[in-house]
Structure formats: structure tokens, C-alpha cells
Structure 1
Amino acid sequence: MTTPQAAAHTYREPMTRHARPRSGWWHLRWGDVGRAVLAVLGAALGLQIASWLVPEFDIKGPGRTIAAAIAIAVVGAVLRPLLVRLAVLVGWVGAVLLGLFGQGIVVWLVAWDFSGEQHNPPFLAAFAASWVVSAVSTAFVWVATAGTDDAVTASLLRRGRRARPPDLTDPDVPGVVFIQADGVPYPVLEWGVRAGTLPTLSRWIRSGSHRMAEWRPKLPATTPASQMGILHGTIEGIPAFRWVDRPTGKVFVANKPADAAVIEAQHTDGRGLLVDDGVSVSNLFTGDAPTAYATMSAVHRTRETKHARVALSTFLARPEGLARSMSRTVSEVARERFQAARATRRDVRPRVERGWGFAGERAAVSGVLRDLNTTLVADSMLQGRRVIYVDYVDYDAVAHHAGLMQPESLAALEGIDAVIAQLEQVATVSPRRYHFVVLSDHGQSQGEVFASRYGEDLAALVRRLTDSDVAAEEENAEATGALNSMIASTSGTDTVLGRALGRASDRISAGRLESSPPDGTAPAPVPAEEDGADRCLVFGSGNLGLVYVAGEKSRLTLDDLTAHFPALVPGLVAHPGVGFVVVDTADHGPVVLGPGGEHRVREGVVVGEDPLAGFGPEAPAFVLRAATMAEAPDIYVNSLVDDLGEVAAFEGLVGCHGGLGGWQDRAMIMWPVALPAPPRPMVVGADALHRVLVGWLEHLGHRRDLTAAEPARPVPDASRPRA
């Protein structure tokens, strides 16, 4: 039985405007006094140390040092709102610059002797001193307040307690916060809960307030398809992370802002998961949310852009916020370089090269991006928004490069658990009570990279078998896309810096392919639009490969492929790193080919050895659905799954997802017991999960004001191939 204490985070009485204690800036608390005293003492200590260390900077005497520290606090409190407003006007890069130099300006003004009797410090000296002051003050406060709330959480809680509660028309209707822990397989969650290394989630399960279960995403097990299914209720028309739109010849890339907007427009029916007063934070798609922050398909929304800039600017304008982000970034880079070197020294297998680029990516997603997402979610909760959906990519990004169960990957997951604890605390001061649902969009599988195992990547293999030019894109860009969505969403078009960042975003997400000439010379970037006939396009999506013959307006059959490239399909089928190949046929529809037999999935007929035998009982239905989409490639190539249950990614990743084999189709969900349990034995498909989540919202009283339901979206007939 669930105790009231265990379920307090879901059954707390809503604090409405009238029931909640009213407080304003004049309401002083002992905690505020204590923080102010600690801040002044830390600043004073920092000023004294800066006087010893920084040339041409000197605060003479302890009395003047204390006075200067108090002045820094006062001047900072006055200037900080002005700096935030200015940062909003000049864009988020301006916010960073003002965060860097703003404290220096404050220290410079405080140290200036307006009487002219003493030598005034140059600004560079004051700027250097401000970093000493910030570092010492942050360390001092951290040591003095060890065991209390995290600085970001404490700041959010103070803001929530002081803010005037919003006027909600439905304060008794509970809200829902959907937290997507990207790429977490169910077995990893289960082990973390059992071991107690995820203390928040483990507490929920052990107290009986929540339940957890496995759900199964269909092929392809990748974020674009799963998020489209979860948020909009359909997974049709998305065969992988990248694909070719045959009528136009365009290559769609799901984490390119313009493409994401088109993809969502093609799939939404206007009644997505977040349509009822929802907020989308750091996702690929909006789910029809009225408000979307750092969401790839909605980076053009200027109102949300400005609000995101306010949140980021407010965070960075505070010395402890900037210092915390900078220290976490530096420490995360150092930690990554050490762990990468240790993996090499120990000869950890499987392993990929982890350079400085990934170190910066990991630091960003685990630092500033995580804090910004948490701030935006908390801000939406404090506004009393009905439903919020946020995607944390920390675990997914690290596990891609390190592996599913390596310490650095599990540490990233523990960081998400800590964020959930922070949001749980924010819920105690929110004007609406909130339920928390934690889920992943897919799992991950692990294994040695295909190119490392066999000495050539999929593009080189196709080039060798066809003796033709091949344009390829096999680089994973999911975490890069998350960073790009933050850059694009917070840049805007109303400032010079914003427009410059917009151009940078365009360069990050530019959809260009790498051409691999048949003579083996160095590849050169080639736009997809320039591809000619009898030229192959090869995309890697985890351990799922997509091969298109360029310039074709419809999917080629096996006979067509044999006429173009006689050795291609037999060579792929016979390769030891390929588990199965899917092609279309004139007589039997989609057929799965393996070295010892074939599976005619439309007819349910197996000839010889079943090539899908090692990929789970749902594999035939998953393949049939994916292979009958109009967007399906001419050839699907799925890697092997070996005796360890490991696969071979066609991208340079240890942990991967996109195809079949391993844990990539073993996603997880954790929900409060106050909501109806999902259907047994398991939810299959992100579209089915969407219906469960919508049912929960309706159970809580959401979505009652929506217009009458439109006609159901037509579902393609899986019994016949599509053009």
C-alpha cells in the first residue's frame, strides 16, 4: 500500500492563488539572510585573494574589503536585471558575453576610487579579479551549504515561493511532466533501480508510488520515428534518421530545423499529445504544443525564442550560475579525456575513438543544455502549464561513444535522475500538482563498429559491389542536433548576433553527403541534389543501413536492382557482418534475404533458414511495416546480431539504435499508480504508446475543450507494397 508520504509528489493539494502563502520581495527569510551573509563573506575572501594574486588590483584593508563585498552584492543586484534585459536584446551569445564581463564591470565599479586619491585598477585587472571572486565565492558557498539543495534548484524554489501565483482556471486538474530519458533500455533502468544508483526513481518504485514496464518501439528504433509516434500518434513515413523523398530527390534529415518542420507538418492532425496547454522542451517535434522551447521543428517561433533567451540570460547573469556552468564544462571535458584514455589503456572492447569534439559535445549536453532544459521545465511548472514534455539526451549521447554500461554512461543517467529530483522539488511550490512520467523513446544495442570488424564501412562495401560512385552519410548527429536546437531556438532573427547564430545553425545541419569515388581516392562532399542515375546513396542509422539508387522516382524491385548492379544484393547477403537484407519483389512483395534462406513477410512464408529467426518474434511484422512505406529504401541492410546479443553499427558508434537486434527495441516507461496501467503484456509501437499517454491526460481531465475529433488518419495497407 502506498503511504501518503511516499505519494506526496503526486497527491499534494494544489496551492492555488488563495490557498498559497503570498510573499513578495519584502518578505525576508532567515535563509535569505544566511545566503546573503555567505555571499558577502565569500566575495570578501575572493577580493582579498585577488588582491594578492592579480597585478594592479588592490583592496586595501579588511574594512574596505568587507565594504567592497557588500557593494558588489548591492551593485550586482541592481545591475543584474539590466544585464538580463540587455542580453535578451542582443541574443544568447550576448548573454554569455555579458555573463563573462558583467561581473568584471561590477568589480571594476566597486574598486574604482572616485576621489582620485588612489590608483584605479584597469578593467582587465578587475575582470581577472572578478573570476577569482566568483570562483572563491562559489566554492565558499558550496562548502558552507554542503548537503542542501543544488544551487539551480534552490534558485528555482526561491523564485517559485516569491512569485505571485498565476490565475489558473483549473487549479484542481493535475498536470503531467513527461521526462524522456533518451535511449535508455529497460534492462539498464531496471538494474539502476535495483542497485539504488538511481535514487529518485528507485525511491518511487520501492515506495509503490510508481510502476515501471518495458515497451517495444517498432522498426526503426530511432528518435524521429519514436518521438513522432509518441507526440503525434503515427510512425508512418519515417524509415530512419535520414531518408530520400523520391518525388523531389531531397534528403530529409530529422534534426535539421527546416526538415523537421516539414516532417511534422506532414504528420500532424492538430491533436498532438501537447495540444492542450502543452510545452515542448528540447524535442525534435512539438506535439502541437502551443509553446515550444529549443524544439527542432519550431525554432522559428520568436516569442518562445525570447523567453528562452530570458531564461538563459537570467541563469548566466548570476555569478554562481556562470561559474557552475563553466566549472562543470571544464570538469566534464577533463573527465571525458581521462575516461577515453583509460578505455584505450585498458583496451576496453567495443571501443571507438573519442576525440575533443565529443568531449565538448558531452560537456554541453551534460552541463548548460541540461541546466537550461531543467530551468525551462521548472519555469513552465511555475506557470501552471498542463502538460510538459522534455528530452534529456545525456545518456544516449555518452552511451553512443562509451557503451551502455560503462561508468560514464551510467553517470549520465544518474545525472538525469538528479534532475528529476530537482523537478520533484519544484513541484512543491508550483500552482498545480504534477504527475511525473519517465520514459525512453527507444533502447540501445552495443557492439564493435561494422567498419572496425570488417575493414570497410557500408558505403565502401556498396561501392566495391557496384563499382560505382557512392554518396554516403553515416555519422550520428543526434546529440549535435540537440545542441543545434538550443542554438537555433535561442538565436532568433531580431538581432545581429541572432542572425549570425542562425547561419551557424544552418551550417551545422547542412544536409550534404560524402561521395566515395570508385577509384578509392579521398571522398569529397557532394550535395544530394547533384546525384545522377546509377549512383547509390548510403545512409547509416545505427545498425540499419539504407541504400537508394539515386534519381529513381519509385522503389526498385529485386529484378531492377539486379539489372543495375548484379553483384550488389548477393554480395550484401553473403557478407558475414550482414544479418539480413530487405528488398521488394514483383511476385511476393517485401522479402527478407539471408545466407541460408528467405522470409516472404507479406505472405508469412519461409524458404530455407529464416533470416529473422534471431531478431525476435515481432521482427516479421516490424519489417513488413517498414518495407511497405513509400519512403523505404531500395535495400534495407540490418547488421548481424552475434552470440553476445551485440550488433555492428554502420555509424562510428559503440551503442546504437535504428535496426533490429540487442536492446534497441527494449524501451522503458515509469508512471504513477494513480494512472491506469498500460495494456498487458506490453505496449508495442510508439503510436500505441501515444494512445496510452493521451488516455492518461483524458483520465486527469485534460483535452476536454478540444474540437470534435477529425476523421482518423488513414493507415497504409500493409498487405500490399506501396509505390
Structure 2
Amino acid sequence: MSRRRAAGRSALRTVGRVLAVWAVSSGTLALLAWLLPDFRIESPQGGSLTQIAVTAAVGAGAFGVLSALVWPLIVRALLLVPALVLGALVFFLNGSVLLVAFRVTPGGPGGVAPATAVVIAAVMSAASSATSTALAVRDDAAYGRRLARLAGRRAQHAGELPPPDGPGTVFLQLDGVGHDVLRDALTGSPPTMPTLAGWLGATHRLTAWRTDWSSQTGASQLAILHGSNHDVPAFRWYEKDTGQFMVCNRPSSAAELERRAVARTGSPGLLADDGASRGNLFSGGAEQSALVMSVAVRAGTFSRSRTGYFAYFSDPANAVRTAWSFTAEVCREIVQSTASRLRGDRPRIKRGGLYPMLRAFATVVERDVAVAAVVGDMLAGRRVVYADLVAYDEVAHHSGPHSRDARKVLARLDRSVRLVADAARHAPRPYRIVLLSDHGQSGGETFEGAYGTTLRDLVREGCELAGGAPARGRRRAARRRGGAEARAAARSALRRPERGRRAEEQEREGPPSEPIVLASGNLGLVAFPDIEGRATLEEVERRCPRLLPTLTSHPGVGFVLVRGERGPLVLGPDGGTHELASGLVTGPDPLAPFGPGAVDAVLRADAFRHTADLMINSTVHPLTGAVHAFEEQAGSHGGLGGPQSRPFLLAPVELPLRDEPLVGAEALHTLFREWLAPARRVASCPAPAVPAPSTPPAAAAAPPVAVTPAARESSTTG
């Protein structure tokens, strides 16, 4: 009997919400008819207020029914349309649905201009969505359904998935957030990230880990998800045996790197057992993947890789909300870059052109879609989910890792994590939320800004090659690579992942004897394409006698790795050398400023087949950890030096950590596999409590408390 009463009350609440939303939509439609000069509604009997209200109610009802029944089918049919174009089409299609609704409404306005219909539909969608959300605040079941709709999914149906056999695990990668940056964001007064500050010491513990020499997303995430980043020497490199340039965030390169890792390990990946990969470079072997770069080029799977966009835009209100946030973020970037220029901030790089839109894509569209997909995966009961949130990394590249702009992005990421934690309370299984980063970022003046020359020009000088216009043109191409992560994701979303000529290919336009110079943050690579295999020290000296002295004597170069007769050799300033095979050091040790793990990291990379002929690492400031990026970046990563090699891991306290330090991304893969092993599935804890935004820092560290209804409605749009 009690169940019947509960079901009856739930049905009454549902009917009440539907009627309330209908009333608000009708009122909104009537208000728009009063405000917009070219839009009027009237009934067949005349223009009394009662009759106009009835017409507005019928029109709003028709629009609501058509949106509920027809809209998901329209969006699914448009999956082959580029994702960003789909986001824009949402408004026009929604307006078309409204025009159809007016046509079937007796006495409804039949002559509404299409542009006016788009505006009316957007406002009505936003009003009805806000009303539905507000009415569901105190209803846990309704809130769960709202979260499911946010992700374009329904809650798990009986028989749709096997019953949960233990806790699930959600890995949220906060791209580019270093350990020290996160620690400061959690321990400040007040904390920049209050949600995570409430977890620290109560439900989670924070630890640092050390990256490989290539401290960038491609190497780290490939190892985390697939267990191996062997032969990934940098973010971009040239392979002599194929004559191809590999770029980690290029779809074809990502697919090839994933194939190589799977062949090397014999395992499909960390997410192969009922997992989901969202917004990553690699799939991790997950059957469910969305916005994944390595999947984008597989035959017949492009639309599946973009289902995250369908899941998000199938609710028209999401398009309205994201469009407003996108516009606000573009304006925010323009204001912040102008303020930075007026303050005279250093380092400072150019932030004009398309960058404001690329930043908005990374910090709003990618974030919202990825978070919605994660929420949907949790409500569907997926066993393991891995998602990459790139917002901080994108902004820190251009504004600096410790800038005001980057700190504000951290605060908005904290609200995204809050939404995921709230969703865990409505999932069919308990979830352990693990946060981590793939690398940090090191600030510092760019190499060109500090010394007035680029690495490419310095190499050409050492090889006694003329610079001239071609070098300047290539320098402009290098500057355009700013925002590489967001740019690649946007191209993929537009179904233009690799169209057009890239800057790397332009390097092969010169004679075969000219060296190819590439950059990955503060790591530079030099390859001689006409020398078969790895060039030795002696071959380089015969080819360009002045090159190595020019590099090692430059104040911005920390060390150079080259293959000598007795094995790998590291050359540094003041005649310092370090023979890696024997450990023999002559003069000042070039690797000493880079910490105790530098020798092992460089020695490991030397064994890679596609390590460049010369690997050049910039200097690092002994006190600040600042480096000099060989690219146009105020905050960089990719080599050794400073916080870039020190990312974080924030994990639930019940998940065991090893006594020894975590060195290399492959160590994280091994650790995560242990956490996901069947023997560990029985270990679980309640979802972390989310303190309300007004909670003072002292109370944030208190034991978990119930989440208030207001806290549940936190938005990912920031």
C-alpha cells in the first residue's frame, strides 16, 4: 500500500511539474508576443485576454509535445553533420519546430519571421528548462531524471546492463594542473576549489607523481590508458623510416600510437571492461567513446565518436545555455587579454585571432559535453569512466599557470566536479571519484622572447645556413600552433581533423640535407632526414662542426642529448658531459639542475626508436622552476624542468598507494589496474560530500554532510 501511495505521489508531482512548465511556457509566449513588434498571437474568436491566453497555451503545448517527440529524432539524424555546426543548427531547427507548432495551433500566428521564431524558441526552451529544474530541486528522483536528460540518456532500465557487481570508478583528468597549483587552490583562504578542498583530508588524499621526459598529454595519457608510452619522445616528432610527422593530438597519429601500444602490451586498455572514454586522445579500449581523437578516423565510427554531442544537444536548452556561456567566455578572454596587456604582464604572448573562440570551445563546449557524458555513464552504471577536462591547460598556455585567468578556470572546474559528485548519489552503484593530471605546466619567458631568436634559427646558425624569409614564415606557422589541443578538437568536431597543410610538413620543403627542427614546449628536436637511422655525435660534427658548440654555449639551452661512440651522451654548458651508459660525468653535470630523476628519464627516452638525432632541453631556473618554451607559450610542458614534471593524484583514502614514489605514467596504469581488479570491487565508500559554496574553509574539512538542494543545481556552464 505504501508503494502505491509513493507511486501516486510521484505521479501527482510529475503532473504538477508538467502543468507548471506548461504555464510558464504559455506565459513566456504571451510575453514575447507583447515585446516583439513582429509577433502577435490571437484566437479565432477575437483578442480578449482570456482567448489570447488559451491560444498561447495551445501553442506552447504543441511546441512542447513536438520538442519531446520530434527533437531527439532530428538531432540523431544529424549526427553526420559536423558537431559545431550541429550546435548552431539547434537554434534554427528549434525555430522550425516552433513554426510547425504555430501552424497546428488554431488561430496561431502563421506569419512569424524565421529569425523571430528562432529567438522565441530559444527563450521558451530556456524558460521551460529553468522551471523544470527549479521544481525538481527537492525531488531526488526528478533530479536524477534531469541529470539523465542532461546527458541524453535515461536511467538504467531492467536488463539493459548487467546488475552492478561492485563500486564504479570515475577518473577525471584535470589537464595540465600541477601538484603545487592544485595544493594552493585547495589550501588557500578562501580555497579556489571549495569542493575539492572539502574532500582533502576527509575522503581523499593528495600525492604527486613524476612524468617521463615527455611531459605532455600524448605520452602520459597513452601510458595511463594503454600501459605503454614506449617510442613517444615528444608531442610531435619526425620518423625517418616512414618520412611522416607524428603529432599526438592528430587523429591519425593518435590512432597509430594506440595501435602500437596495444600491440606492445597485448591488452586492449584500462577501460576495456564496461568502460567509457570521454574527451580523451585515446580510447583505453572502451566500447563507449565520445570526443576521442584516436576513434575519429576509424571507418564507420566517426558518428559514434561524436555521440557525446548528440547526447548534449538533444536537449535544446543545453544549446541555449552553452551558447550564452560560449559568448561570455569569448568576451571574458578579450577583457582578460586587454587587462593583461595594460598591466604589462610578463611573459605575454599574442592572444588574438581565433584564440578567444578556441578558448571558449575548450573551456565551455568540451567541458559541458564531457561532463554531461560522464553523468550519463554514471547513471547507466558503467564500471569505469575516464574523462579529460582541458580547460585549465588551454588557458594556462596563453595566460600562464599561476595567472588570475587560470585560477578562475580552476574555480569553474570545481563546479564541474561538484556536478559529477552530485550525480553519483543517483547512480545505480556507488562511485569512487579519482582526480589526476597528466602533467603540470612551467611558466617562463619564451625562448624567442628572452633571447630574440628561435630554436630553429639557432640551429640554422650552427649549421651555417641562411635564415631569410622562409625561416620567418615558418616562425609565423609555429606561433599559429598556440592552442594546439583546442584547435585539434575543434577541427575534429568540424569533421576537418587533418585537412590542409600543417606547419610540420612545411619543414620538408628545403633540401634533404637541411635539419628538421620541431618543438614540444621547452623540448626541441633536430633530425637530419638524409642520415639513415640515428645520427651519431661524429656524424653531426662532420656535417655541422659549429652546431653543438652553438647550442651548448647558448644561455637558454640546458642540455643536448646525442648518440656518441660509447652510447648516449648529454652535453651541457661549460664543457660538461654526462655519459648515461657508464654514469661518467666530466665537468659540470648538465642534468644536475633537473633533479634526481632526470638521468633515468633521459636514458629511457634515448632507447626509443624514433628519438631525434638531437634532443634539446631548455634551461630551468633553480628557484622558480621557470623554463623557456621553444613555442609561443606563456606556460609550457613537454620537457624537463619545473612543475611540468610534477602532476597530482587525488584519490579516495580507501584506495591503497604504494610506498615507493610514482615515477612515469606507466606506473599509474599499473596502480589503476590494481584498483579496478575484481578483488578491489567490494571496497567502496559513499560519494564524497559537497560543501555548499558558502562553507568556510574550516568547516570544509569537517566530516561529510548531506548536500543541500541548492548545491545539487550547480551548473557546468560557470
* TM-score bracket for this pair, using the shorter chain length: 0.7 to 0.9
Mapping of 1:244-393 within 5 angstroms? 244-268=238-262, 269-271=265-267, 272-301=269-298, 305-307=302-304, 309-393=306-390
Q: Is residue 53 of structure 2 the alignment partner of residue 70 of structure 1? A: no
1:466 deviation in Å?
1.6
1:506 match: 498
Contact 1:369/1:483, CA 8 A, preserved across alignment = no
Segment drifting more, 212-221 vs 240-249: 240-249
State the match for 1:218 in structure 2: 212
CA distance 1:534–1:68, change in 2 (3 Å): same
Amino acid at match of 1:506: E
Match of 1:589 in 2: 568
Going from structure 1 to structure 2, the CA distance change for 1:282 and 1:697 (only over 3 Å counts) comes to same
Q: 2:36 corresponds to which residue?
A: 53
Aligned counterpart, 1:125 = 116
Deviation by residue 1:109-132 (Cα, 9 ceiling, x = unmatched): 344487679763233332343345
Report if aligned partners of 1:474, 1:539 keep a CA contact under 8 Å in 2. no
* SS of structure 2 residue aligned to 1:505: coil
Partner of residue 628, structure 2: 648
Inter-CA distance 689–110: structure 2 relative to 1 (3 Å threshold): closer
Deviation at 1:393, TM superposition (A): 0.7
1:502-525 CA distances to partner (integer Å, 9 max, x unpaired)? Answer: 4x22226x54437xxxxxxxxxx4
Give me the TM-score of the superposition, normalised by structure 2: 0.83
Which of 653, 678, 688 lines up with 2:658 in the alignment?
A: 678
Once the two structures are superposed, the pairs formed by residues 182-201 of structure 1 within 5 Å of their partners are: 182-195=175-188, 196-201=191-196
Once residues 21 and 645 of structure 1 are traced to their aligned partners in structure 2, the CA distance between those partners, rounded to angstroms, is 65
Say which of 85, 94, 103 aligns to 1:103.
94
CA distance in 1, matches of 2:646, 2:461: 35
Runs of at least 5 residues in structure 1 that lack an aligned partner in the other structure: 1-19, 491-500, 515-524, 704-723
Establish whether residue 633 from structure 1 lines up as the match of residue 592 from structure 2: no
CA contact (8 A) 2:41 2:108 kept: no
1:256-312 alpha-carbon deviations (Å, 9 max, x no partner)? 111111122112133222222222222122222233322221224577644555542
What SS class does the counterpart of residue 664 from structure 1 fall into? Answer: helix
State whether structure 2 residue 677 is matched by structure 1 residue 698. yes
Kindly state the Cα deviation for residue 52 of structure 1 after the two structures are TM-superposed.
2.4
Is 1:28 the equivalent of 2:21?
no
Amino acid at match of 2:463: T
How many residues matched? Answer: 656
Identity %: 34
Cα distance in 1 for residues equivalent to 2:370 and 2:386: 10
2:554 counterpart (575, 578, 581): 575
Partner of 1:706: none
Q: Residue in 1 aligned with 2:229?
A: 235
Q: CA deviation at 1:336?
A: 0.5
The within-5 A match list for 1:490-529 is 501-502=494-495, 504-507=496-499, 511-513=502-504, 525=506, 528=508
- Cα distance, 1:215 vs structure 2: 0.4
Q: Secondary structure at 2:208's aligned position in 1?
A: strand
Contact 1:400/1:654 (8 A) holds in 2: yes
Whichever residue aligns with residue 439 of structure 1, its letter is: L
SS of structure 2 residue aligned to 1:28? helix
Note closer, same or farther for the CA distance 1:80–1:24 as it changes in structure 2 (3 Å cut).
farther
Q: Which shows bigger deviation, 399-408 or 49-58?
A: 49-58
| Distance apart, 1:77 and its partner CA | 2.3
Please state whether the residue corresponding to 2:79 is helix, strand or coil: helix
Give structure 2 stretches of 5+ with no counterpart.
Answer: 683-718
| Closer, same or farther: CA 267–25 of 1 in aligned 2, 3 Å | farther
TM-superposed deviation, 1:692:
1.0
| TM superposition shift of 1:538 | 0.7
Residue 354 of structure 1 deviates from its aligned partner by: 0.8
Cα separation, partners in 2 of 1:23 and 1:350, compared to 1, 3 Å: farther
Residues 299 and 485 of structure 1 are in contact (CA less than 8 Å); yes or no, is this contact kept in structure 2?
A: no
Q: What secondary structure sits across from 2:425 in the alignment?
A: helix
**Higher mean Cα deviation, 563-572 or 87-96?**
87-96
Partner of 1:404: 401
Moved more, 387-396 or 627-636: 627-636
Name the aligned partner's letter for residue 649 of structure 1: A
2:334 is paired with a residue of what secondary structure?
helix
Measured in 2, the distance between the counterparts of 1:616 and 1:54 equals 69
Q: In structure 2, which of residues 578, 581, 589 is the aligned counterpart of residue 610 of structure 1?
A: 589
- Per the alignment, residue 198 of structure 2 pairs with 203
* Residue deviations 1:580-601 (CA, integer Å, cap 9, x gap): 2222211353223223522222
1:320, 1:448 → 2: CA distance?
Answer: 43
Q: Structure 2: how far apart are the matches of 1:190 and 1:314? A: 34
**C-alpha distance in 2 between matches for 1:697 and 1:223:** 22
8 Å CA contact 1:598–1:610 kept in 2: the answer is yes
Amino acid at match of 1:645: G
Q: What secondary structure does 1:556 align onto?
A: coil
1:414 aligns with 2:411: yes
- 1:580/1:611 contact within 8 Å kept: yes
Which residue does the alignment assign to 2:694?
Answer: none
Distance in 1 separating the partners of 2:16 and 2:363: 32
Partners of 1:576 and 1:22 in 2: how far apart? 78
CA displacement at 1:21 relative to structure 2: 12
1: CA distance, partners of 2:299 / 2:398: 35
SS at match of 1:273: coil
Q: Secondary structure at the match of 2:95?
A: helix
- Contact 2:569–2:577 (Cα < 8 Å) also in 1: no
* Alignment-mate amino acid for residue 505 of structure 1: P
Per-residue deviation, 1:347: 0.6
Give 2:173's match in structure 1, choosing from 180, 183, 186: 180
**Aligned twin of 2:692:** none
Q: Deviations over 1:14-49 (max 9, x none)?
A: xxxxxx999999963637734752464255235423
Deviation digits for residues 417-441 of structure 1 (CA, Å, limit 9, x no counterpart): 2222212222222222221111111
Tell me which residue corresponds to 1:437: 434
| Corresponding residue number in structure 2 for 1:427 | 424
Q: Which amino acid aligns with 2:572?
A: L
Name the CA shift for 1:83/1:613 in 2 (closer, same or farther; >3 Å): same
Please show how residues 140-159 of structure 1 align to structure 2 within 5 Å: 155-157=146-148
TM-score by length of 1: 0.83
Q: CA deviation at 1:486?
A: 6.8
Amino acid at match of 1:197: T
Aligned position for 1:11: none
Deviation at 1:139, TM superposition (A): 7.2
Letter of the 2:36 counterpart? L
How far off its partner does 1:334 sit?
A: 0.2
Give the Cα separation in 1 of the matches to 2:114 and 2:402.
Answer: 49
Q: How far is the alpha carbon of 1:414 from its aligned partner? A: 2.4
Residue of 60, 63, 72 corresponding to 1:81: 72
Q: Does 1:464 align with 2:457?
A: no
Q: After TM superposition, give the deviation of residue 701 of structure 1 in Å.
A: 5.0
User: Could you tell me how far 1:98 is from its partner in structure 2?
Assistant: 4.2
Deviations 1:164-201 (CA, angstroms, capped at 9, x unpaired): 24555452322211111111100011111112321222
Compute the RMSD of aligned alpha carbons: 3.4
Q: String of CA shifts for 1:537-572, please: whole Å, max 9, x gaps.
A: 111111111111122221112221111111111011
Return the alpha-carbon distance in structure 2 between the equivalents of residues 144 and 276 of structure 1.
38
Q: Using the alignment, how far apart are the partners of 1:487 and 1:428 within structure 2?
A: 36
Verify: 1:558 aligned to 2:553, yes or no. Answer: no
Comparing 238-247 with 92-101, which one deviates more in the overlay?
A: 92-101
Moved more, 254-263 or 585-594: 585-594
User: What displacement does 1:314 show?
Assistant: 4.5
Q: Measure how far apart 1:51 and its partner are.
A: 3.9
Task: Identify which range, 195-204 or 185-194, moves more after superposition.
Answer: 195-204
CA drift of 1:327 comes to 0.1
Q: Distance in 2 between matches of 1:139 and 1:384?
A: 27
